[in-house]
Amino acid sequence: MKRKLSVSGSHSIRRVRAASIFAASILAVTGCSGEPAPAATSGNTSGDTEAVVSAAESTDSPAPAQDEETNDLTALEATRLMGNGINLGNTMEAYNHKAYLNGADPTSGEGIWGMPHTTREMIAGMKAAGFDTLRVPVAWTNGMNFESGDYTIDERLFARVEEIVNYALDEDMYVVINDHWDGSWWGMFGSKTAETREKAMEMYKSMWTQIAERFGKYSYKLVFESANEELGDRLNDKDIAEDSGSLSVNECYETANLINSEFVKVVRSTGGKNADRFLLIAGYNTDIEHTCDDRWKMPEDTADSKLIVSVHYYTPWDYCGIAAVNQWGSPKQYEEQNRLLKMLTKFTEQGYGVIIGEYGVLTDGKATPKPDTDIYFTNFLDNCDLYNICPLLWDCNGLYRRNEGAISDPTIAKLFKDRSFASQPENTEEETAAVAAAAKKSMEEALEAANDRMTDEGDIPATDDTAVAWIMYQSADYNASYCVGDIYDPTNKTVGIKAQNALIEGEGQYTVSLDFTGIGGARGVNFSALGIYNGEKFFPGCVIDIDSFKVNGEEYALEGKPYTGADDGKCTRVNLYNQWVPKAPDNARTADGSLDGASAQIWQIGAKERIDTVEITFTLSTAQQ
């Protein structure tokens, strides 16, 4: 669990300073008298613009006590104080830019993605539920006519964001604000036109200059984040710039590094508290493995120990992101989570803080969590305690019910309440180390227990010493899924699907199948492939030739020639329906040695067509023809 900083040694000084920071943040939003400053008018209706501006201006001048605040915490110490947090998801980043261009209030989009109007009580409820930090994603172009070259952020949008920030600071929470997706204007950086790329940087720097100046006198508990998930592959998005897509992967890394560097320079140049404010640096795609790639660099900084790395975690996506996979907790899944989160010590060992700005097992707005959400969260938060990582739950009026001001599921509610910073006693450095040791022990026990869970009779265990063939499948409606991805794990599935997989011992003919009758059938195909886990390890250069393909017991005529490949260099694979692969790659292998007619879409089936069973018989040749 997150523990309060030690009160012995040098930490005792920082503990006093942390307390003064907390107090100053409250003074900053109440004024010298301690009376609440006038709240900015909500932007959900057209409202009175002059009233909004007046209200915003009334909070623009901080109390003198705030100017005396100093920031002597390091990034590692700050992330410990930030405890566990939550996102105000699908709210201020809900995209309504076109409406603004047509004269709408820039805050009118706050509820268009299904969220209720944010109130002080909702934020107070988050704090009471055990969340110590609030991340407020923002789409700043909701109040900007950037197409005309005007990058001025509308005062009404500023006032509403400021109002929500103040709600959280009043609750003694840390707050993170960013520029979040924002219609994917970031694709301008990938434009083939130099002028468009230059405008993108000009707009980015103008945006952060305005944000930094607006909040420059705010408490150090307000953290600026350079982006969301856009600094990476999405720099090539075509949503705004139709000629985007010009950047290679290496150039995407270079551009992401440049943007982060400019972010730090711009914020620091505004002076005041921004000279040493904590800054959150968006990783490449906010993906852990991509961010740990040596091509991604933390920017240089004039302040000492004030930078924090931002990544997200939704692994495995089939469990965290869609309804189909409704169980979690296999040894492979525990090992994967532990391995990925441990990678982040690359940054903590260098003195950088780490925030997982988003994680979750998404519920589509339902208050009832998926099965195994509690054990997923427990192991995840144990990792965060072990490695001093601050996690921020992604939630869109799901687990946390905003109008009720509470988490409705009692198991999840207790989990977060117990993990809150406020619930932990003061500790010595030795006790803090003991907490990390307890987290490690909990992780080890959970992994050991996982060996006895979730296996169906007849499943072939997933090990590094065997090669196993199976059918990857995801239905067109995302409600049925079996072991999608190049890592074989027979528990990564919709409960009720029965599989016949095959242990591959050499050349020969094998049969694999899926039976969906236990879940009432599956609908259509969104993705499917025939995979052999460890195929490239034990049978390099092998070729798979499909002899029979049956759907619902009837022979199905393939609509193209299958080819053999390996996306990750480990798992041998034949794509059955992969809409993201337009043609067979040049290094693909076929039974006749020719790629003529080879396709990644050889199983064409309607989205509404019911599938009860799929059976594939294939021959494996270990020497390429």
Residue 30 burial by Cβ neighbours in a 10 Å radius (0-12, 13-18, 19+): middle
Environment class of 484 (CB within 10 Å of its CB; exposed 0-12, middle 13-18, buried 19+): buried
Q: What is the pLDDT of residue 456?
A: 61
Task: Look at the chain and count its residues.
Answer: 625
pLDDT tens-digit readout, 523-542: 999 999 999 999 999 999 99
pLDDT score of 435: 82
Weakest mean pLDDT among 32-36, 320-324, 406-410, 415-419: 32-36
pLDDT of residue 422: 78
Q: Do 144 and 211 contact (CB within 8 A), yes or no? A: no
The whole-number pLDDT of residue 477 equals 94
CATH dotted code for 11-448: 3.20.20.80
- Express as a percent the part of the chain with pLDDT over 90: 80
CA dist list (Å): 146 to 49, 73, 109, 210:
21, 37, 18, 14
Q: Which of 11-20, 317-326, 400-409, 611-620 has the lowest mean pLDDT?
A: 11-20
Mean pLDDT of 258-273: 98
- pLDDT, greater one: 125 or 33: 125
pLDDT at 341: 98
Instruction: Using alpha carbons, list the distances in angstroms from residue 490 to 330, 496, 514.
Output: 9, 12, 11
In this predicted model, which residue has the larger pLDDT, 288 or 11? 288
Tens digits of residue pLDDT in 321-330:
998 899 999 9
> If you average pLDDT over residues 52-67, what whole number do you get?
39
pLDDT exceeds 80 at position 470:
yes
pLDDT for position 24:
38
Domain ranges of the chain: 11-448, 467-621
Mean pLDDT for 113-128 is 98
Indicate if the pLDDT at residue 599 is higher than 80: yes
Whole-number mean pLDDT of the chain?
Answer: 88
Strands across the sheet with 498-500, in order? 498-500, 508-515, 613-621, 543-551, 554-555
Question: What percent of the chain clears pLDDT 70, i.e. is strictly above it?
Answer: 87
The pLDDT assigned to 428 comes to 63
Q: Of residues 202 and 625, which shows the higher confidence score?
A: 202
Report the alpha-carbon distance of residue 213 to residue 207 in Å, rounded. 10
